[in-house]
């Protein structure tokens, strides 16, 4: 029986290791450690990581390392959004997010762990730092939006509802469809409300966490569609 290429075997072993020790969002060991762990060359490790990145199991963050994705193994367009009418799907995903995000914030307030708290705090700090860097033209708008989305992903994760976590990729897809100026307006709203949402979740105030997240979602919709409040 023909054996798989070595990098495929290493990728399979690494996948098993991830399932056992590295939850979504966590950082895996650096290349030299993986080389020693599996007894293979740097080229083989890089090929294995590249293979897992193509399957949306790992993601490489420049300057930070390699991390397990928030929804390992789930295709970034699992619902085939790219084949739908952009205007309709943007509206529908916005409505879905308005339902899911406040519910996740409320669940997070009831179920949050110490690890969740650290993830939320880190995501907020990452966004605030990113805003400063963006104002000095040191990072792209796309990177800034990723940092904004990571806070929402952290809220979803704090719910400990695995189906919600999988649906999070749909919310991320929604953010990709906004224009740059709209995104900047959304970022400023995020900088105002994310700290309040974080405080409500950490303090265990489910009602307040849900209300603030709903306000944030409504603000986003109003930024994207100024006539939204008039039509709702």
Give one word for 118, left, alpha or beta, with left for phi > 0 and alpha for psi -120 to 50: alpha
- What's the whole-number mean pLDDT along residues 17-42? 94
DSSP 3-state of 60 = strand
- Fold of domain 6-68: Arc Repressor Mutant, subunit A (1.10.10)
Place of tokens 């490489």: 60
Nearest Cα to Cα of residue 179 among 208, 155, 145: 145
> If you average pLDDT over every residue of the chain, what do you get?
88
Provide the whole-model pTM. Answer: 0.68
The pLDDT value given to residue 130: 96
pLDDT tens digit string along 102-118?
A: 999 999 999 999 999 99
CATH class of the region 81-231: mainly alpha
Q: Classify residue 96 as exposed, middle or buried by CB count within 10 Å of its CB (0-12, 13-18, 19+).
A: middle
Could you tell me which residue, 88 or 102, shows the higher pLDDT?
Answer: 102
- What's the whole-number mean pLDDT along residues 86-109? 87
- What's the whole-number mean pLDDT along residues 163-189? 72
Residue 229, pLDDT above cutoff 80: no
In the chain, what are the domain boundaries? 6-68, 81-231
Could you tell me which residue, 79 or 24, shows the higher pLDDT?
Answer: 24
User: Quick one: pLDDT band at residue 232, thresholds 50, 70, 90?
Assistant: very low
Annotate 8-52 with three-state secondary structure.
HHHHHHHHHHHHHHCCCCCECCCHHHHHHHHCCCHHHHHHHHHHH
Q: Classify residue 169 as exposed, middle or buried by CB count within 10 Å of its CB (0-12, 13-18, 19+).
A: buried
DSSP 3-state of 63 = coil
């Amino acid at each position: 029986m023909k054996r798989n290429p070595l990098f495929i075997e290493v990728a399979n072993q690494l996948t098993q290791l991830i399932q056992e020790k590295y939850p979504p969002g966590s950082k895996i060991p650096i290349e030299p450690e993986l080389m020693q762990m599996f007894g293979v060359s740097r080229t083989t490790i890089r090929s294995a990581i590249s293979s897992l990145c193509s399957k949306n199991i790992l993601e490489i963050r420049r300057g930070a390392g390699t991390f397990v994705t928030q929804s390992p193994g789930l295709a970034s367009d699992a619902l085939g959004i790219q084949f739908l009418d952009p205007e309709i799907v943007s509206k529908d995903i916005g409505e879905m997010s308005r339902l899911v995000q406040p519910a996740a914030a409320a669940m997070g307030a009831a179920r949050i762990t110490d690890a969740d708290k650290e993830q939320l705090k880190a995501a907020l700090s990452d966004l605030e730092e990113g805003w400063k860097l963006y104002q000095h033209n040191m990072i792209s708008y796309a990177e800034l939006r990723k940092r904004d989305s990571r806070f929402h992903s952290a809220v979803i994760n704090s719910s400990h509802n695995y189906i919600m976590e999988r649906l999070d990729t749909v919310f991320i897809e929604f953010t990709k469809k906004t224009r740059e100026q709209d995104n900047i307006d959304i970022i400023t709203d995020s900088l105002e409300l994310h700290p309040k949402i974080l405080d409500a979740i950490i303090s265990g105030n489910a009602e307040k966490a849900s209300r603030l997240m709903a306000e944030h979602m409504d603000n986003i919709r109003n930024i994207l569609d100024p006539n939204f409040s008039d039509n709702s």
